[in-house]
Amino acid sequence: MKKLLLLMAIPCFTSGKITPEITIPDSFSELSFYQLTLHRGNYLANTASCEIVSLKLFYPVEHNKYPPSASWLCLFPVDVINDGYGPNRSLGEKVYLDKKTDQWKKKKYNRNRKETRRSLDVYGIKSLSELQPLVLFNIQSVNARGYAVIDSNIPLQEKQKGVKKRLSFCLIQNHSYSAFCGFGSMINVVDGKEVDFTPYMLKSLETVEMGLPEK
């Protein structure tokens, strides 16, 4: 019954939208992209199936590169809604779906002493005040909607490998039992310079189309 109600609550869209609006680099071009097509074997999945997923990976014109490789997942929408984003990452905020407004929002997450200690250890910090606020976007793609989170709180082990910022997202397909999710580092070194792919990846998420049939 939960799944049925969920499908009825998700409207159908044909174009993308990011809320709140983002600042697009002046050099951004909708012609500079790599067309990515993901088949069943290209993403990790439980018993849910996203079938074929298509999206445009935009990249800076001046670098002729597309965003760094991400990890792709196909999950059940009910799991995405129940889990949200935050607590299992030892953060002080939680991203959740407000079912009254059908919008993803964030709120403070109260941790006990044990969870606080784990946060300090995971991120290699001395005080919780060192944690950075999550940046949340509601994403509407070609035939799905969900959230994208920009997280600058990087676990110590990943930070030592050079990771500085990550983007995580989950998009629930309209009238379906599938959710397409992913995560990856957004700052990459191109031609000896650091390039922030965040705005390019967010624009890419607007183009996600899932549940396409095999040809």
- pLDDT at site 47: 61
Q: Return the DSSP state at 100.
A: T
Residue listed under structure tokens 């969870």: 115
Q: Which residue has the higher pLDDT, 48 or 84?
A: 84
Q: Residue 2 pLDDT > 70, yes or no?
A: no
Q: What residues contact 164, with CB distance under 8 A and at least 6 apart?
A: 152, 154, 185, 187
Burial environment of residue 2 by CB neighbours within 10 A (0 to 12, 13 to 18, 19 or more) = exposed
Q: What is the residue extent of each domain of the chain?
A: 2-212
Q: What is the pLDDT of residues 25-71, one digit of tens each?
A: 998 999 999 999 999 888 988 666 899 999 999 999 888 777 777 79
- pLDDT at site 64: 76
**Tokens (6 digits) for 30:** 């909708």
